[in-house]
Amino acid sequence: NAGVTQTPKFQVLKTGQSMTLQCAQDMNHEYMSWYRQDPGMGLRLIHYSVGAGITDQGEVPNGYNVSRSTTEDFPLRLLSAAPSQTSVYFCATLGEQYFGPGTRLTVT
């Protein structure tokens, strides 16, 4: 039982590049979400999903896309990376009871 896993742990992108942050859970939870944390800030909700095929926007969704084709996976896509998206990204499940270890993204 791995809980919530995130890949990669670290990533450096150039402005304008695209990438997908992966999040997977093996606890069969319907609810999954993505947060970002910036220095000196709390976590802010980007997108969330209450089940396969259902997603909704959080507080800071601009520049990010999500989809939920399976219960296990909830990838976060950056379509055209910007320096403002430099942050640490956390995936969570079950009403934010379980968080993944995070992906540290730097956009230059």
Partner 1 sequence: DQQVKQNSPSLSVQEGRISILNCDYTNSMFDYFLWYKKYPAEGPTFLISISSIKDKNEDGRFTVFLNKSAKHLSLHIVPSQPGDSAVYFCAVSNSGYALNFGKGTSLLVTP
Judged by the rule CB under 8 A, the positions of this chain that interact with partner 1 are 4, 31, 33, 35, 40-45, 48, 58-59, 90, 92, 95-102
In whole angstroms, the minimum distance from the beta carbon of 16 to partner 1 comes to 28
Beta carbon nearer to partner 1, 10 or 14: 10
Q: State both tokens at 72.
A: 């296990």
Output the CA torsion sign for 43, 12, 27, 47: positive
In whole angstroms, the minimum distance from the beta carbon of 78 to partner 1 comes to 20
- In Å, what is the CA distance from 14 to each residue of 21, 26, 55, 58, 102? 15, 32, 28, 25, 20
Beta carbon nearer to partner 1, 72 or 96: 96
Q: How far apart, in whole angstroms, are the C-alpha atoms of residue 100 and residue 90?
A: 6
In whole angstroms, the minimum distance from the beta carbon of 98 to partner 1 comes to 7
Find the farthest-apart pair of alpha carbons in the chain and give their distance in angstroms, rounded: 36
Beta carbon nearer to partner 1, 15 or 106: 106
